[in-house]
Amino acid sequence: MQPHQHILLVEDDDIDAMTVRRTLKEIGASNPLDRVSDGEQALAFLRDPANARPGLILLDLNMPRMNGLEFVAVVKNDPELRLIPVVVLTTSSEEGDRVAAFSKSVAGYMVKPVDYPQFVGIMRLIRDYWMTSVTPP
């Protein structure tokens, strides 16, 4: 991923969205962050040519209207969108959710810690990994 590539955050909780935004700033990530609140909004955003195509999608699972797993199912069936890496960022450590997410070919699964400093650590890991990893065009 390139430093200028956008990150799309699909998250309905405002504080969680603030946390991600704040964390990215704290670790010095320069990638612009776009935020939508559910799966439907995310699909609309991705399919709107006016928006920049993100280099990474950070996805919450439990959201109104279209939840994270439903969103991933659509994205992975869409030839235009399927190459964008999706990392799940969720509260749920339920085995069922983990299995469902990976069987829909997510690129990663992170459980949000309650503790803010730990959250920063996790975001740093995600950023470092995707900045290092070669990504599809």
Partner 1 sequence: MSVTSPLPPTADGSSDVAPAHRYAPAPTNDGEALDLLNSLTKQIALVDEHGIIVSVNESWREFGLANGAAEPQAVAVGANYLVVCDGSALVPQDAYAVAAQAGVAAVLAGSLPHFELEYPCHSPTEERWFLLRAAPLVGQRRGAVVSHEAITQRWQLEQQRAALTAELLELKTALDQHALVAITDTRGIITYVNDKFCAVSKWSREELIGRDHRIVNSGHHPKEFIRSLWETIRRGEVWQGEVCNRAKDGSIYWVDTTIVPLLGRDSQPSRYIAIRSEITERKLLEELNTEMVGQLHIANRELSEFAYVVSHDLKAPLRGIGSLASWLVSDYADKLDDQGCSQLNLIASRVKRLSLMIDGILMHSRVGRSNDDRSPVDLDALLRSTIDLLAPPPHVTIRIDDSLPVLTTNIVTAQQVFQNLLSNAIDFIDKPIGLISISCQREGPSWHFTVADNGSGIPAHQFDRIFQLFQTLAARDQRERTGVGLTLVKKIVELEGGKVWLESTLGIGTTFHFTLPASP
Taking the complex as a whole, how short is the minimal distance between the CB of residue 92 and partner 1, in angstroms?
Answer: 5
Looking at the Cβ atoms of 4 and 21, the one nearer to partner 1 is 21
Looking at the Cβ atoms of 81 and 101, the one nearer to partner 1 is 101
**Dist CA 134 CA 48 (whole Å):** 25
Looking at the Cβ atoms of 22 and 124, the one nearer to partner 1 is 22
Chain positions contacting partner 1, by CB under 8 A? 13, 15-16, 18-19, 22, 61-62, 90-96, 112-117, 119
Taking the complex as a whole, how short is the minimal distance between the CB of residue 117 and partner 1, in angstroms?
Answer: 7
Looking at the Cβ atoms of 79 and 117, the one nearer to partner 1 is 117
**Dist CA 69 CA 52 (whole Å):** 23
Longest dimension (CA), the chain: 38
Taking the complex as a whole, how short is the minimal distance between the CB of residue 99 and partner 1, in angstroms?
Answer: 12
Taking the complex as a whole, how short is the minimal distance between the CB of residue 89 and partner 1, in angstroms?
Answer: 12
E strand intervals along the chain: 7-10, 33-36, 56-59, 86-90, 108-111
| Contact in structure between 71 and 42 (CB atoms under 8 Å) | yes
